[in-house]
């Protein structure tokens, strides 16, 4: 079973307007509601592709009730830790003419010490039946510095690999704690490490203790960086669509393969890149196109040296 933890979930509410103009008044149908958060997207994708999953997150207040209802309808196995504060909202306004999406993420509120302990306990309870732990997304304000390292430690003690997709100082702490896989994009990597060169940044995470860095590069595909080498995968032609959730689909691919015992960076990179591209074709984060095997067949995979990668990325 793939166990995902989402420390900072959000109730996603999406409205569609013909054309979004700042300062104007628009009419729209009722907003569509979805239980959001990167770990939930990972669980949705893996579940839809037939993997056993369990998504653990928090829910509180009236938005938490809506969140729990929608997650219940989704059929994704999950456990919700009740918290006192309202689950935050993430609102999205889709401009139908241009296809642009404007997003406002509420910052979220700080869980209590007891709530952090409850979330940790929910993960610990689920570890015995898990094959891999996925920690995804931002942390709420006021999160204890030691939370992500503690989750990694308990999973490693149970013999499980840990995949972490987060940003900021938590990304460095995850590397220090020996996360198996990290999946930053270029901006997150540069911001967390302070290193502008993406290869040097990825290698800094490996030196700190990570096994594999999956560096997502948008239209340029994805790079797998390990202590022993590089693999680069990209599509023959980039796809246009909705990039939200593409990184989560990559993490889902990685988690499914890790749960099956697969550790070959190239195999993981191929699946992660294909699922990521297949997510771009879908309107909602957490879904991938069933056409992904055809996309996988269009991948160009190479084992480049550092200089040619740097040239590609510059």
Number of residues that bind a copy of itself (CB under 8 A): 33
Class of residue 268 by CB neighbours under 10 A (exposed 0-12, middle 13-18, buried 19+): buried
> Does residue 284 bind a copy of itself (CB under 8 A)?
no
For the bound state, the minimum distance from the C-beta of residue 96 to a copy of itself, rounded and expressed in Å, comes to: 13
d(CA 115, CA 139): 13
Answer whether 219's CB lies under 8 Å from 312's CB: no
- Which residue from 78, 88, 186, 208 is in contact with a copy of itself, where contact means CB under 8 A? 88
> Does residue 103 bind a copy of itself (CB under 8 A)?
yes
Closer residue to a copy of itself (CB): 31 or 304: 31
Query: Hey, which residues are catalytic here?
Result: 248
Closer residue to a copy of itself (CB): 71 or 259: 71
**Quick count: other Cβ atoms within 10 Å of Cβ 31?**
14
For the bound state, the minimum distance from the C-beta of residue 128 to a copy of itself, rounded and expressed in Å, comes to: 36
For the bound state, the minimum distance from the C-beta of residue 168 to a copy of itself, rounded and expressed in Å, comes to: 13
- Helix (H) / strand (E) element for 181: namely strand 181-182
> Does residue 187 bind a copy of itself (CB under 8 A)?
no
Degrees, nearest 5: CA angle 299-301-305:
150
> Does residue 62 bind a copy of itself (CB under 8 A)?
yes
Contacts with 55 (C-beta within 8 Å, 6 or more apart), sequence order: 4, 6, 39, 40, 42, 43, 71, 76, 77, 78, 79
Candidates 39-47, 60-68, 180-188, 212-220: pick the segment binding a copy of itself (CB under 8 A).
Answer: 60-68
Nearest CA among 227, 232, 225, 206 for reference residue 313? 232
Contacts with 261 (C-beta within 8 Å, 6 or more apart), sequence order: none
Query: What does the block give as tokens for 116?
Result: 């952090």
> Does residue 107 bind a copy of itself (CB under 8 A)?
yes
- Which residue from 49, 101, 243, 267 is in contact with a copy of itself, where contact means CB under 8 A? 101
> Does residue 93 bind a copy of itself (CB under 8 A)?
yes
- By CB under 8 A, what part of segment 27-56 binds a copy of itself? 27-31
Closer residue to a copy of itself (CB): 41 or 180: 41
> Does residue 95 bind a copy of itself (CB under 8 A)?
yes
User: Could you tell me which residues are beta bridge partners of residue 95?
Assistant: 17
> Does residue 65 bind a copy of itself (CB under 8 A)?
yes
Closer residue to a copy of itself (CB): 44 or 88: 88
Closer residue to a copy of itself (CB): 24 or 307: 24
For the bound state, the minimum distance from the C-beta of residue 59 to a copy of itself, rounded and expressed in Å, comes to: 14
Nearest CA among 231, 217, 271 for reference residue 249? 271
Contacts with 11 (C-beta within 8 Å, 6 or more apart), sequence order: 33, 34, 35, 36, 63, 64, 66, 67, 70, 87, 88, 89, 90
For the bound state, the minimum distance from the C-beta of residue 182 to a copy of itself, rounded and expressed in Å, comes to: 21
**In the complex, which residues of this chain contact a copy of itself (CB under 8 A)?**
15, 17, 20-31, 62, 65-66, 86, 88-89, 91, 93, 95, 98, 100-107, 109
């Amino acid at each position: 079973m793939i166990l995902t933890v989402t420390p900072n979930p959000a109730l996603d509410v999406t409205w569609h307007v013909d054309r979004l103009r700042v300062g104007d008044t628009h009419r729209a149908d009722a907003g569509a509601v979805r239980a959001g958060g990167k770990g939930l997207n990972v669980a949705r994708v893996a579940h839809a592709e037939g993997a056993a999953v369990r998504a653990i997150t928090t829910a509180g207040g009236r938005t938490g009730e809506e969140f729990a209802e929608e997650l219940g309808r989704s059929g994704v196995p999950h456990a919700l830790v009740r918290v006192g504060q309202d689950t935050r909202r993430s609102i999205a306004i889709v401009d139908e003419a241009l296809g642009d999406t404007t997003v406002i993420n509420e910052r979220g509120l700080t869980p209590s010490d007891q709530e952090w302990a409850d979330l940790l306990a929910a993960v610990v309870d689920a570890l015995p039946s898990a094959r891999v732990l996925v920690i995804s997304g931002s942390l709420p304000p006021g999160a204890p510095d030691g939370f992500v390292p503690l989750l990694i430690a308990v999973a490693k003690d149970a013999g499980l690999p840990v995949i972490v997709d987060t940003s900021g100082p938590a990304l460095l702490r995850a590397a220090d704690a020996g996360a198996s896989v990290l999946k930053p994009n270029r901006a997150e990597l540069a911001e967390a490490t302070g290193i502008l060169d993406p290869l040097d940044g990825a290698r800094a995470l490996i030196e700190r203790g990570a096994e594999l860095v999956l560096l997502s590069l948008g239209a340029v595909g994805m790079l797998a960086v390990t202590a022993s080498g590089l693999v680069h995968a990209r599509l023959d032609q980039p796809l246009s669509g909705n990039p939200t959730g593409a990184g989560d689909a990559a993490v889902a691919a990685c988690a499914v393969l890790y749960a099956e015992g697969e550790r070959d960076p190239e195999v993981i990179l191929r699946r992660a890149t294909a699922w990521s591209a297949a997510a771009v074709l879908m309107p909602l984060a957490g879904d991938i196109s069933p056409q992904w095997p055809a996309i996988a067949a269009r991948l160009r995979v190479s084992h480049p040296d550092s200089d040619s990668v740097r040239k590609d990325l510059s």
